[in-house]
Structure 1
């Protein structure tokens, strides 16, 4: 097998030499990268870890694993309204799962293709990283820029604000359910939503001047709404019937389970936002120009807690505990 640094150079570092326009004064190959943020901007930084058979199936296509590892990290930048700039990747690779060196090379190439293609699509520069041996996992640190004072946070929602989501919900949980049933056609819309999620970065930029609070939906709508409510000190009234459900979700799961998937399934990576009522129409109009819907699903209230979700009250995803956050 290739030595660590040969592997990094061959598959993981960008093929083009980094320069000033990339904001990289010194890239991979040294002990640390030197980055050059734009003047009058703040850095938005987030890290995400994807672990085999926790965040993605062990038999998922390598291209999808690479894409997904970066996408879920970039989704955090989208929630802040940040423009993506740089990322760093720490790949832990279990050599024992492969038959021979050729299989390792093929997997890493496809993985890197998935990762790099999303980097290119989202104008993100891979500026460094690390490779080691162990149980398969991918740690991705992303960095974005936002003008000072313009970042979205979870703490700005006010009673009377409307609660809205981008795109459609439940696709991540629906796709996982299909994968577990043996479905392997990546053209299926639910499998694509689960394995190849799309970080809503452009939507975050549009919404940062209209939304009062935002976060991405990774652990399920109810769980993530709980975090936003806690930060903003508001309650919520949810209209379950207004939830935008992912394509084919009802056909695959039935209406009740589809709504459960939308509320608690997780892995959707859409944006959950609150907006003053007078901003909703303009936000919907601007997102339609991107081919993306913004659906109002409820309203913030002064009474803490969530109304309107019974009997759909399952908790979202948590790594170490069960129960509603």
Structure 2
């Protein structure tokens, strides 16, 4: 099948759809505005460019992530999970800025056309879009090694966005959810560690279907002094906050939150490696003044996500780790795309 000839039919079949009751992801529809779930899109799919109308007094947060076959996913990953994760990793970046997800643009390179693959991918992709009330407004399809690039745009009130810069000595360091599940699942798939079979499904769910903390990010706008999403692991990601803010941090390893599946699969220093250096958590790490910690509990309940204090910001400009208030050394490094290259 010739990609050049069939590009527009592929878009119509798999990436342009209606939002009426009973419609399936991928159904072909016209590009008329009545088929859009969002009313802030003036021009969507079907023109040379999309036009969006942000609310008065708001800025637009923009982020882009790419997933490459053989690097970010392989045949072990359910195809619908690839679609879900592509959306989730972008929305996690928006959550770290305190933004409401709104509009997405998708660019794909396919080596050939596999309609079963495209059906499953679009199902997972659009299910995530629907859940977070955002909409695909354009993109591109071409022929090449399987590569998926998504640009997500979110709305945030002016001067109320979150940044990596802003942490102050005395601020408490929090993380959402639990850490290490996805990294442990991947290590088990690669034969690097043994995981009890009864826990593998729960761990793989965190790897395949991450949950961006979109609601929590928006609730933190007036509370957090800095924030970042944990994509490469706490060890590496928190250092971006420290550098941007000109501060240091003390992390208490024994306070790191874990799931039951994780705790019953690995523990202690072996577990810390996956909790702080494994990556793929897509949780939020943020700093907050001690005076606001009580209010944070209410906000976390409102967002429906657990938050855990794992350390404190100081003026040392160093990242130090402790176990039960005793300093300890770690012998592993943060995830890097080009490690060993």
Q: What TM-score, normalized to structure 2? A: 0.87
Counting matched residue pairs gives: 316
Q: 1:314 matched to which residue of 2?
A: 332
Displacement of 1:313: 4.4
Gaps of 5+ in 2: 20-31, 323-327
Residues 1:234 and 1:63: Cα distance change in structure 2 (over 3 Å) = same
Q: 1:223 matched to which residue of 2?
A: 236
Query: Following the alignment from structure 2 to structure 1, what is the Cα–Cα distance between the partners of residues 242 and 303?
Result: 28
Query: Following the alignment from structure 1 to structure 2, what is the Cα–Cα distance between the partners of residues 265 and 322?
Result: 16
Matching of residue 79 in structure 1 with residue 82 in structure 2: no
Matching of residue 273 in structure 1 with residue 286 in structure 2: yes
Query: Following the alignment from structure 1 to structure 2, what is the Cα–Cα distance between the partners of residues 300 and 254?
Result: 26
Query: Following the alignment from structure 1 to structure 2, what is the Cα–Cα distance between the partners of residues 14 and 232?
Result: 44
Q: 1:290 matched to which residue of 2?
A: 303
Structure 2 contact 199–261 (Cα < 8 Å) conserved: no
Residues 125-204 of structure 1 aligned to structure 2 (within 5 Å)? 125-181=135-191, 188-204=201-217
Gaps of 5+ in 1: 96-100
Displacement of 1:196: 0.4
Q: Secondary structure at the match of 1:298?
A: strand
Displacement of 1:264: 0.4
Structure 1 contact 161–277 (Cα < 8 Å) conserved: yes
Displacement of 1:263: 0.7
Match of 1:263 among 249, 254, 276: 276
The CA deviation string for residues 100-156 of structure 1, in whole angstroms up to 9 with x for no partner, is x6xx11110100000000000001111011111111111000000111000000001
Q: Secondary structure at the match of 1:157?
A: coil
Structure 1 contact 263–312 (Cα < 8 Å) conserved: no
Displacement of 1:188: 1.6
Query: Following the alignment from structure 1 to structure 2, what is the Cα–Cα distance between the partners of residues 158 and 32?
Result: 42
Query: Following the alignment from structure 1 to structure 2, what is the Cα–Cα distance between the partners of residues 186 and 78?
Result: 28
Matching of residue 35 in structure 1 with residue 52 in structure 2: yes
Structure 1 contact 42–147 (Cα < 8 Å) conserved: yes
The CA deviation string for residues 168-207 of structure 1, in whole angstroms up to 9 with x for no partner, is 0001201212333499999822101111001110010111
Displacement of 1:282: 1.1
Tell me the C-alpha RMSD between the 2 structures: 2.1
Matching of residue 121 in structure 1 with residue 131 in structure 2: yes
Query: Following the alignment from structure 1 to structure 2, what is the Cα–Cα distance between the partners of residues 174 and 146?
Result: 34
Matching of residue 7 in structure 1 with residue 10 in structure 2: yes
Q: Secondary structure at the match of 2:260?
A: coil
Q: What TM-score, normalized to structure 1? A: 0.92
